[in-house]
Structure 1
Amino acid sequence: MTLLSISQVRRRFGDVVALDGVSLDIEEGEFFALLGPSGCGKTTLLRILAGFETADEGTVLLSGNDLTRVPAHQRPINLMFQSYALFPHLSVAGNIAYGLQRERLAKPEIRQRVAEVLERVGLAHAAKRRPQQLSGGQRQRVALARAIVKRPRLLLLDEPHSALDRKVRAEMQLWLKELQHEVGITFVVVTHDQEEAMSMADRIAVLNHGAVEQVADPVTLYGSPTTHFVADFIGANNFFEGKATASGLNTSDFGQLPARAGAVAEGSKAFLAVRPEQVTLNGGALSGRVLDVSFYGGLSRVAVSVDQRDTPVLVHQHGAPRVAPGDTVGLGWAAEDAVLVRP
């Protein structure tokens, strides 16, 4: 069931178009990610959902109710800020209880709900500590606990892991996903980190220059991108330019290259995108010379120079490298492993 419906939302800041007709439907209980580079409009959209920004055009419906003129404090939505915005003079329990106290709930109910959420996020032992006595991961948990204790219909998260180091970030991503399933609240997270979005979200909207490029689950986004931007932004890819045909791509430099049908009409300008792990070095449509080989334990990365091509073709092989710089190799891939995308 659709919880949040965003229709043709536009927002300008002077000459800058932050959002250009964004439309999205987000399901109840879904973990939804807004993914894109800096300046693509994702944080502006999040602030419009929270009520901190007003759209120039378009509507935002929550369970069919128009939120356009509902002030932020009256929306059943919570926003967890990128900085966490914890009160340094309050204890962990005090930070979590603050919103409930503002709603003038009875003290016994506040104590009960704070205790429940502290247990849920694993911080019952730290209830009396101040934020400066906590690690980065613990401060994030306090911020999340403060948000979910009010039991919002929708929780918005703005770059929730940006302040954490790599190891803690990976742990918190897993924990956050588990928490979302446990509490059953719909999460919308803004991130520029593709790995974070791919590992956490049920579905992802990829934004570029204020517009939605594609909405899909992580597997579809990786394996079947529809545009050059999405194919380039999500993971590594090798691109070849030409005209779409029934069996792949017709190029001026390399002739016919195999690919499965994509989101491009036959005869139209297109790019063939093939992932490095799908390219083999045992013959195929192309040939080239190995420029560089890098070994990363379980993975070898090979760069191959091909005549008439400005950038090398990247190949990923499992295990130790089986070629060396200077070797001449063939390059190939199965048609089903390459996709045609729009420019």
Structure 2
Amino acid sequence: MTLVSVRGVTRRFGDVTALDGVSLDIAQGEFFALLGPSGCGKTTLLRILAGFERPDSGEVLLDGADLLALPPHRRPVNLMFQSYALFPHMSVEKNIAYGLEREKLPKAEIRERVADVLETIGLSGAAKRRPDQLSGGQRQRVALARAIVKRPRLLLLDEPLSALDKKVRAEMQIELKRLQNEVGITFVVVTHDQEEAMSLADRIAVLNDGGVEQIDAPVDLYERPRTRFTADFVGANNLFHGTLTDGGVAVPGVGVLPCEVPKDAPTGGPADLAIRPEHLVLGDSGTLSGTVVDSSFFGGRSRVAVAVEGLERPVEVSAAGAAPVTQGAEVRLGWEPGKAVLVG
């Protein structure tokens, strides 16, 4: 069931077009991510959903009703800020209760709802502490609790984990997903971190220059990117440009790189081919030959860069464990044609 429908939304700031006819649907109970580089329009779209910006054109519907007609404080939407914005002089429970008190709910109901959400986030024992007595991960949980205690239909998260270090961020990614499943609220997260989006979201919308490049589940987005931008932005990829033939993509000065060519694909025109580093195999046989120029070990996997004559950039290969080759070695690279993806 669709909860939010964004239809042809455009937003300009002077000569800059932040959003250019963006359309997308977000399902009830979905964890939806807006992913893209800085300046792509993702935060502007989030602010439109929250009510802090108005589009120049287009519509936004919540359950089929016009969301844009409601002021921010009347929308069943809550926004969790990147900075958490906790009140430093208030205890954890007072921070969480603040929004409910502003709505003048009965004190008994406030106490019950705050206690329930503290148990959900695992901080019942820290109810009397102030924010400066908590770790970064705990403060993030309090900010999340303050947002969900009001039981919004839609919770917006703007770069929610960017202030945390890598280990805590990984832990909180698991925690966010657990909480979202438990409370059943639709989450929309804005991030430029691909790993974060891939680990959290049910579906991801990739934005670029104010437009939507692709909307898909994480696995589909990674395995079958539809555009060159998506292939290059989401994870590591090797991109080759050439001419489409019956057997693959003919790259000048390199040769024909094999891939599965759709029967209805028009050959003879320009084409881009994407091959993930983990789909390339180092060995004594293969389509490409080159020289190892660098190798790096990342604990469990190694990244090997191979210079191939005719290509401007080295080809990146991902291998399990320590690198099986050393710098300066002459190698060949092969892959299964089905693992090479034609992108638009």
Instruction: Tell me which interval the TM-score lies in, with the shorter structure as reference length.
Output: over 0.9
* SS of alignment partner, residue 232 of structure 2: helix
In the alignment, is residue 237 of structure 1 matched against residue 231 of structure 2? Answer: no
Gaps of at least 5 residues in structure 2 are none
Q: Deviations over 1:279-305 (max 9, x none)?
A: 112221111111122233321221111
* SS of alignment partner, residue 68 of structure 1: helix
Q: Which residue of 2 aligns with 1:291?
A: 293
Q: Deviations over 1:149-178 (max 9, x none)?
A: 111111000000011111111100100000
In the alignment, the residues of structure 2 paired with residue 98 and residue 20 of structure 1 have an alpha-carbon distance, to the nearest angstrom, of: 37
What does residue range 273-284 of structure 1 map to in structure 2 within 5 Å?
Answer: 273-282=274-283, 283-284=285-286
Q: Deviations over 1:87-137 (max 9, x none)?
A: 122211111111111111111111111111111111111111111111111
Q: Deviations over 1:306-340 (max 9, x none)?
A: 11111111111112222222221111111111101
Indicate if the aligned counterparts of 2:5 and 2:25 stay in contact, CA closer than 8 A.
yes
Q: Which residue of 1 aligns with 2:210?
A: 210
In the alignment, the residues of structure 2 paired with residue 140 and residue 296 of structure 1 have an alpha-carbon distance, to the nearest angstrom, of: 29
* SS of alignment partner, residue 281 of structure 1: strand
Indicate if the aligned counterparts of 2:302 and 2:318 stay in contact, CA closer than 8 A.
yes
1:265 positional shift: 5.0
* SS of alignment partner, residue 52 of structure 2: coil
Q: Which residue of 1 aligns with 2:328?
A: 326
In the alignment, the residues of structure 2 paired with residue 127 and residue 327 of structure 1 have an alpha-carbon distance, to the nearest angstrom, of: 60
* SS of alignment partner, residue 69 of structure 2: coil
In the alignment, is residue 151 of structure 1 matched against residue 151 of structure 2? Answer: yes
In the alignment, the residues of structure 2 paired with residue 174 and residue 267 of structure 1 have an alpha-carbon distance, to the nearest angstrom, of: 47
1:248 positional shift: 2.1
Q: Which residue of 2 aligns with 1:62?
A: 62
Indicate if the aligned counterparts of 1:226 and 1:341 stay in contact, CA closer than 8 A.
yes
| C-alpha distance 265-152 of structure 1, shift in aligned 2 (>3 A) | farther
In the alignment, the residues of structure 1 paired with residue 256 and residue 182 of structure 2 have an alpha-carbon distance, to the nearest angstrom, of: 51
In the alignment, the residues of structure 1 paired with residue 116 and residue 176 of structure 2 have an alpha-carbon distance, to the nearest angstrom, of: 17
Indicate if the aligned counterparts of 2:252 and 2:310 stay in contact, CA closer than 8 A.
no
Quote the RMSD (CA, aligned, Å): 1.4
1:264 positional shift: 7.0
* SS of alignment partner, residue 47 of structure 1: helix
1:246 positional shift: 4.0
Q: Which residue of 2 aligns with 1:316?
A: 318
In the alignment, is residue 112 of structure 1 matched against residue 112 of structure 2? Answer: yes
Q: Which residue of 1 aligns with 2:91?
A: 91
In the alignment, is residue 188 of structure 1 matched against residue 214 of structure 2? Answer: no
TM-score (norm 2): 0.96
| C-alpha distance 268-327 of structure 1, shift in aligned 2 (>3 A) | same
Indicate if the aligned counterparts of 1:97 and 1:110 stay in contact, CA closer than 8 A.
yes
Q: Which residue of 1 aligns with 2:138?
A: 138
Indicate if the aligned counterparts of 2:292 and 2:328 stay in contact, CA closer than 8 A.
yes
**Amino acid across the alignment from 2:28:** E
In the alignment, the residues of structure 1 paired with residue 163 and residue 113 of structure 2 have an alpha-carbon distance, to the nearest angstrom, of: 27
Q: Deviations over 1:71-94 (max 9, x none)?
A: 000000000011111112221111
Q: How many residues align?
A: 342
TM-score (norm 1): 0.97
In the alignment, the residues of structure 2 paired with residue 114 and residue 297 of structure 1 have an alpha-carbon distance, to the nearest angstrom, of: 42
> Which of 277, 302, 305 is residue 303 of structure 1 equivalent to?
305
In the alignment, the residues of structure 2 paired with residue 153 and residue 261 of structure 1 have an alpha-carbon distance, to the nearest angstrom, of: 44
Q: Which residue of 2 aligns with 1:254?
A: 254
**Amino acid across the alignment from 1:325:** Q
Indicate if the aligned counterparts of 1:264 and 1:341 stay in contact, CA closer than 8 A.
no
| C-alpha distance 246-23 of structure 1, shift in aligned 2 (>3 A) | farther
Indicate if the aligned counterparts of 1:202 and 1:217 stay in contact, CA closer than 8 A.
yes
| C-alpha distance 261-3 of structure 1, shift in aligned 2 (>3 A) | farther
In the alignment, the residues of structure 1 paired with residue 60 and residue 306 of structure 2 have an alpha-carbon distance, to the nearest angstrom, of: 49
Identity %: 68
